[in-house]
Amino acid sequence: MAYEDKCIICDEAITNPVCPHCLERQVMYWVADRKPSLIPLLKSVGDSVKAFDHENTFCAVCGDDMNICPHCYCNEIYTWLIENEYPEMAREFLESFNFELDYKFDFKTPPTGII
Ligand SMILES: [Zn+2]
Ligand SMILES: [Zn+2]
Separation between Cα atoms, residue 56 and residue 83, nearest integer Å: 30
Mean confidence (pLDDT) of the chain: 81
**pTM of this prediction?**
0.78
- Tell me how far the alpha carbon of residue 68 lies from the centroid of ligand 1, in angstroms: 5
Q: What is the pLDDT of residue 71?
A: 87
- The residues, any chain, with a CB within 8 Å of residue 17's CB and separated by 6 or more, are 5, 57, 58, 59, 60, 66
Q: Which ligand is nearest to the CA of 71?
A: 1
Residues 78-98 have a mean pLDDT of: 91
Q: Model confidence at 80, in pLDDT bands (50, 70, 90)?
A: very high
Separation between Cα atoms, residue 29 and residue 9, nearest integer Å: 25
Q: Which ligand is nearest to the CA of 73?
A: 1
- Tell me how far the alpha carbon of residue 72 lies from the centroid of ligand 2, in angstroms: 15
Q: Which ligand is nearest to the CA of 60?
A: 2
Separation between Cα atoms, residue 4 and residue 47, nearest integer Å: 23
- Tell me how far the alpha carbon of residue 84 lies from the centroid of ligand 1, in angstroms: 22
- Tell me how far the alpha carbon of residue 57 lies from the centroid of ligand 2, in angstroms: 11
pLDDT tens digit sequence for 17-54: 888 989 999 999 999 999 999 999 999 999 878 777 66
82 pLDDT above the threshold of 70: yes
111 pLDDT above the threshold of 80: no
Domain definitions of the chain by residue range: 34-105
- Tell me how far the alpha carbon of residue 9 lies from the centroid of ligand 1, in angstroms: 5
